[in-house]
């Protein structure tokens, strides 16, 4: 089953999408938050990069995104029901749990290059919230849920499974398009261990997207995946207050 191709999303636009993502997600937030906060609050930069990327793509790729969602919504209505949505969410959640267990085993054996990025981020959030009142923590947790749990998966799926994958499919066969898009998706993550895991996850997201002919399906899977990360944050915060 072939993923819907849009004439609005052309193969020559690939460098445009990569450039916008690189600038809005890494370069601009990195410079801005390094000047304002230094390295003291890294998760603020993560949240800021998500909103920055969303804003830049809305401004510079509005027509492509509108076409992408219009096509995705029209395709998904007959392919997804409540049971399938719940299944995809739970499947995404379990994938993250399994990968976390695998990562913990790898780290204990010092094979993963001491991959501590996610754990450090979670601990930083927990330590920051430990010294604040409940109202401040509630606002911060809401910002994290919206940014990492909802907006992050949406914008990453729009960029990679939506714009970049479709642009690649307009230039080459579907297998090569998935592999290249998943590689691009993975290299924007922190280190070698995460690159390998994210590459495999990117392939899975692409397959789901193509299977349902809509990025809505891959967004749901990605949200489920990130829900596990949010649960880790919540559990760490609760345990830090005991």
Tens of pLDDT, residues 141-166: 899 899 999 999 999 999 999 999 99
Q: Please say if the pLDDT value at position 138 is more than 90.
A: no
Cα dist. 199→12, 22, 48, 137, 182 in Å? 23, 18, 24, 33, 5
H/E run at residue 202: helix 192-212
Cα angle for residues 151, 153, 155 (degrees, 5° grid): 65
Residue 92's closest CA among 156, 139, 49? 156
Whole-number percent of the chain with pLDDT over 70: 80
Cα dist. 189→126, 156, 175 in Å? 22, 12, 22
Q: How far apart are CA 8 and CA 62, in angstroms?
A: 11
Residues 6+ apart with CB under 8 A from 143: 47
Cα dist. 177→21, 169, 174 in Å? 18, 6, 5
Q: Look at 7-11, 98-102, 181-185 and tell me which has the smallest mean pLDDT.
A: 7-11
Q: Please say if the pLDDT value at position 240 is more than 90.
A: no
H-assigned helices in 77-191 = 82-108, 117-130, 134-144, 152-156, 165-169, 174-187
């Amino acid at each position: 089953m072939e993923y819907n191709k849009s004439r609005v999303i052309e193969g020559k636009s690939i460098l445009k999408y990569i450039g916008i993502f690189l600038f809005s997600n890494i370069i601009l937030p990195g410079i801005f938050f390094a000047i304002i906060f230094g390295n003291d609050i890294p998760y603020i930069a993560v949240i800021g990069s998500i909103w920055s990327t969303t804003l830049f793509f809305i401004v510079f790729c509005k027509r492509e995104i509108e076409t992408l969602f219009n096509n995705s919504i029209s395709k998904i209505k007959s392919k997804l029901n409540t049971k399938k949505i719940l299944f995809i969410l739970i499947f995404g959640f379990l994938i993250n749990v399994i990968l976390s267990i695998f990562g913990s085993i790898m780290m204990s054996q010092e094979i993963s290059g001491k991959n501590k990025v996610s754990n450090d981020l979670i601990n930083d959030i927990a330590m920051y919230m430990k010294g604040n009142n409940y109202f401040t923590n509630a606002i911060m947790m809401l910002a994290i849920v919206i940014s990492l749990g909802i907006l992050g998966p949406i914008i990453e799926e729009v960029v990679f499974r939506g714009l970049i994958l479709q642009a690649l499919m307009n230039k080459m066969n579907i297998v090569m398009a998935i592999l290249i898009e998943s590689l691009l998706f993975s290299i924007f993550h922190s280190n070698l261990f995460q690159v390998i895991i994210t590459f495999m996850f990117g392939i899975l997201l692409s397959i789901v997207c193509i299977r349902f002919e809509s990025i809505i399906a891959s967004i749901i899977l990605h949200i489920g995946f990130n829900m596990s990360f949010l649960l880790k944050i919540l559990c760490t915060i609760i345990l830090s207050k005991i």
